[in-house]
Amino acid sequence: MNRVLAVSLTLCLASCSDDSWSTAPSSVRASVTSPTPNSPYRSKSVVGTFDFIFTVHPSCVQLPLDVRRRSYVMTLPQGAATATLSGGTFGGGDGRHAQWNVIYTRVSSATSELWFSDPPIRELLPGGRYLEIYGDGRGHLAEYGTSKMAFRARVGYCPAMSPHTSPSCAVPLVTCESADHELTLRRR
């Protein structure tokens, strides 16, 4: 009986491990663990300050034009497993919620992974609105110059925040999911 259970569990786990990247909008399976600061993936050469430009997939026409491309500044300290964004007004950091400008990283000279999932990035926008980005990207983060990587994410836009329960939306969230949003990182 235990052998049958073990085989069934193994088959179930194997069938749930699809890491393919579709080109059409799809659901998001973001990472939920972060590397340790002494991770073997950490590269001493790929650290510093970067322009961080997030562009949604062209199929996301339901999102307003002003949220389809967002630019921030990302700071990636040497030896750290997280980077932070600046250049926007981010939610959280109020004692009850974590600051919502944290990016978990796994960086090496060969390949890099960036993800925000707990918490997502949440930028507070003028007019009582917010943008939320939940996802992950993989690619090469160049030591110099500009890097581009596909970014698998769910982007949510709230046109009217609730005045009573922050941070929540007073109306249904407008969302777009794709495995092909684009992330551009340009060393400053």
Q: Indicate whether 81 pLDDT > 50.
A: yes
SS3 state of residue 136: strand
Q: Provide the terminal-to-terminal Cα distance of the chain, rounded to the nearest Å.
A: 60
Burial tier of 184 (Cβ tally within 10 Å: 0-12, 13-18, 19+): middle
Q: Is 39 exposed, middle or buried (0-12, 13-18, 19+ CB in 10 A)?
A: middle
Domain presence at residue 18: no
Percentage of the chain modeled with pLDDT above 70: 70
Q: Is residue 160 included in any domain, yes or no?
A: yes
Position 6 in a domain: no
Residue 156 in any domain: the answer is yes
For 143-162, the pLDDT digits (tens) are 788 989 888 999 999 999 98
- Domain range for 83: 24-187
In a domain, 3, yes or no: no
* Residue 87 counted as domain residue: yes
15 occurs within a structural domain: no
In a domain, 5, yes or no: no
Q: Domain tally for the chain?
A: 1
The four Cα atoms 28, 160, 93, 155 give a dihedral, to 10 degrees, of 20
Residue-averaged pLDDT of the chain: 77
CB atoms within 10 A of CB 42: 19
What sign does the CA torsion over 144, 101, 34, 77 have?
Answer: positive
Q: Is the pTM of this model over 0.75?
A: no
